[in-house]
Amino acid sequence: MTVVYYPGWGIYGREHFINSINFDDVSEISYAFFDVESDGSLRTIDNYEWAEKAFSAKDSISGVPDTWEDGDARGNQNQLAQLAEQYPDVSINIALGGWTLSNDFSTAVLDQNRDNLINNIVEMARDNPWITGFDMDWEFPGSGGQSGNAIRAEDGENYAEFLEGVNIALDGLSAETGQDYTISVASPPGLTQVDTFGFEYGVAEHADIINLMAYDYHGGWENSTGLQAGIFDDYSNTSSPGIAATIKAMIERGVDIEKVNLGIPLYARGWNIDPETEIANAIGAPSLSAVTGSFEAGIYDAKDILTTIANNPSEWTVVYDTDSMAAFALSETGEFVSIETRSTVALKAAWAKANDFNGLMFWDSSSDLEGAGASLVEAGNDVWEGRQTVADIVATDIIQFDQFIGNGEFYDLLTLDPTGLPISAIKAQENLNEQGAETDLELSNSNDTDGSTVPDEDIQVDMSETTEDSSEIADSINTDHVHDTENQGDLPSS
């Protein structure tokens, strides 16, 4: 499955509407966010975008303009109802909490407030029959999160009891409505937050889906550069673990990988560094300041930074680090930006599918490039659904790698399990062949044929050929939003 979060505030500076999403590439949309108040009430953070905005015909799912007559449905609430009619196979979830709205979650799941919160969730689903589930985006139980959040030692246990109660209540509603409801939880990348999340109390058991936020391992809060969504983190001077270490910690706490959606960021994090810094020393280099960003210092929408790079290739060097298994771009002026490209998204999708993840998750739809051959969501979903191989995506990517650094090769990720350990050489070769990698593994060099060490020196990958389609795609990208800092976004990313 492929999940995208839609941010309600996207209607403002980004002018991103629900009908901007290509629902051929999406199996579930999570609307972000509703606030969870301390007494268990649910509150929209902006009633105008939720229930009042009149959408024009071109911005509406139905293609029919909203009216201002009394009683007429408007806002994103109505757009989601239209979405359910036009795309009945797309699940529609309501996300509760998020980075800036988790301050009262700890209080809301206490014994005296929990039933009220559960009842309000049920009533919201009853009042909006197009809702198919809820995404619990508590950031984070027991530790971390935004300054000022309520935090209690018993958060993890209370979270599990709350989720169990929601399950029971929604099962009861399902008996009334005939609608099956799903519960997902957004799980953290940091090991400290994984430890206090409540997995040992049954959080994973009471959730249908776990959306792993496999990003934000590094960012502008640090005084040196880093790769924000690497599989490994070999350069950091911090305790940032990398995706494989997070997944290992989750599995050790009983999480079933078949419930996990691998989160992929549709935004980039960047720093300004000394322009004389060598590429080999760019990861972990001292930061002079955060990059300007699209709507917030230090953060670019993927559509902005990738368009900038595609339109100015002589000013940027795009690098893939085979040790961290992540990409960055370095400009002539010293901008270091940790990025995802269609190629890196495709590779992660293939790895997740080969390792029996539940699916992919993207934060958030407003930051993606639009159009066939440009969208990162499309690249991931195409590989997940088997419509394209990783090699197909690489060949037509508008962003081509200029350099590879590290001790491995691009396709090495397909030779690893979810925790970063080598899989059998036979299975690894099957993965590589399935994704069109021009790579041969020497099975005779493995320990055995069913649980071996993969010989890195035998992995050879040819990524030098680029089809002429990539230049045509680059020409078609909308550059209206490049380095747009006039309209500041209302909320940070999840």
CATH code of the domain covering residue 150: 3.20.20.80
Residue 172 lies in a domain: yes
Residue 71, pLDDT score: 73
Residue 229's domain comprises 2-264+341-389
* pLDDT one-digit tens code per residue, 3-37: 999 999 999 999 999 999 999 999 999 999 999 99
Crossing angle of helices 155-177 and 111-127, in 10° steps, is 30
Q: Is residue 287 part of a domain?
A: no
Residue found under tokens 């909490």: 97
With a cut of 70, say whether residue 464 has pLDDT above it: no
Average pLDDT over residues 150-161: 99
User: In this structure, is residue 247 part of a structural domain?
Assistant: yes
The answer as to whether 241 is a domain residue is: yes
Number of domains the chain contains = 1
Question: Helices 425-434 and 342-354 sit at what angle, rounded to 10 degrees?
Answer: 140
The stretch 445-457 carries a mean pLDDT of: 36
Whether 84 is covered by a domain: the verdict is: yes
Percentage of the residues of the chain whose pLDDT score is greater than 70:
87
Tokens, residue 169? 């209540």
Whether 409 is covered by a domain: the verdict is: no
Residue 1 has pLDDT above 60, yes or no: yes
pLDDT at 241: 86
User: Across all residues in the chain, what is the average pLDDT?
Assistant: 90
Phi-psi region of 132 (alpha: psi -120 to 50; beta: other; left: phi over 0): alpha
pLDDT > 50? residue 474: no
Res. 139: pLDDT tops 60: yes
- State phi, psi for 103 to the nearest 5 degrees: -65, -30
Q: Report whether pLDDT(358) > 70.
A: yes
Please state the pTM of the whole predicted model: 0.90
Spatial distance between the Cα atoms of 229 and 247, rounded to a whole number of angstroms: 13
Does residue 476 register a pLDDT over 90? Answer: no
**H or E segment and range at residue 94:** strand 91-97
Q: What is the pLDDT of residue 467?
A: 39
Give the model's pLDDT for residue 487.
31
Question: Is the Cβ–Cβ distance between 404 and 319 less than 8 Å?
Answer: yes
Q: CB within 8 A of 278, min separation 6: which ones?
A: none
d(CA 56, CA 87): 20
Which position has the token pair 């993606």? Answer: 368
Digit-coded pLDDT (tens) for 171-227: 999 999 999 999 999 999 999 999 999 999 999 999 999 999 999 999 999 999 999
What is the pLDDT at residue 68?
A: 83
| Strand, coil or helix: 36 | strand
Q: Is residue 293 part of a domain?
A: no
Domain membership of residue 467 (yes or no) is: no
Number of neighbouring beta carbons within 10 Å of residue 221: 9
